[in-house]
Amino acid sequence: MTPLMDDGEVISVLGIGRDVSPRKRTEGEFYARGRILEAVVFAAERFLVGRAGAGGTREVLRRLATAAKVDRVAVFQNTYGEDGDVIVSEPTDVAALVRRTVENSDILGTRPVRVEAQLIVVSVDAPKVERIVETLLANAARHTPPDTTIWVRVSPQHGGVHLCRGRWGGGR
């Protein structure tokens, strides 16, 4: 800022302003990348030296989610056919998949969950079904009181599978 003078008296001030938003945005992106890279290095160290274990895997995913500023992180393993192509859909016991997803989920905390599932083997994209179940559980947690029992039902329907979620008790 430079004062403009007239007979020794300040009559105005001259200044130049610059928009530093792009620079600040770039700095933020730089620091975000650094946080994510640190989390990836932590994950690589844990997985490559075999120190992850069950609790370590959760810690790795938590750090990755925190660094990326997201609610959750999922790890997918590709399945390959004899021709070397990735198999997207494969025969899956959907009842077991849903039970395992509910048991491994921490979305509901200590809320009671009841799974009603028949043995149903159909070709599905298992990671996508897991994400669907987690979304259903998250919605149930968000829209029901903490003491409400949540149920998840898996049943056959038209050669495929019907997956639904409900509740016993109050809530929206």
Which pLDDT belongs to residue 75?
64
What's the count of helices (H) and strands (E) in the chain, helices before strands? 4, 9
- What's the whole-model pTM score? 0.49
Q: What is the pLDDT along the chain (172 residues), one digit of tens a residue?
A: 888 888 889 889 888 888 889 989 899 889 889 998 998 898 888 877 766 665 677 788 888 888 888 877 766 666 777 787 777 777 889 999 999 999 888 888 888 888 988 888 888 888 888 888 988 888 888 888 888 888 888 888 877 777 776 655 554 4
Look up residue 131 and give its two tokens: 């994400």
Give the separation between CA 151 and CA 140, rounded to whole angstroms.
Answer: 9
Place of tokens 């007239």: 6
Task: List own/partner pairs for 96-101 with CB under 8 A and 24 or more apart.
Answer: 97/126, 97/129, 97/130, 97/133, 98/129, 98/133, 98/152, 98/154, 98/163, 101/129, 101/130, 101/133, 101/134
Query: Treating both helix axes as pointing N-terminal to C-terminal, what angle do 21-48 and 53-68 enclose, rounded to 10 degrees?
Result: 170
User: Where does residue 98 rank: exposed (0-12), middle (13-18), buried (19+ CB within 10 A)?
Assistant: buried
What is the reported pLDDT for 171? 46
Distance separating alpha carbons of residues 65 and 79, to the nearest angstrom: 24
DSSP H helical ranges for 12-146: 21-48, 53-68, 94-104, 126-143
> CB-based burial of residue 107 (10 Å sphere; 0-12 exposed, 13-18 middle, 19+ buried)?
buried
Q: Which CATH architecture has domain 82-168?
A: 2-Layer Sandwich (3.30)
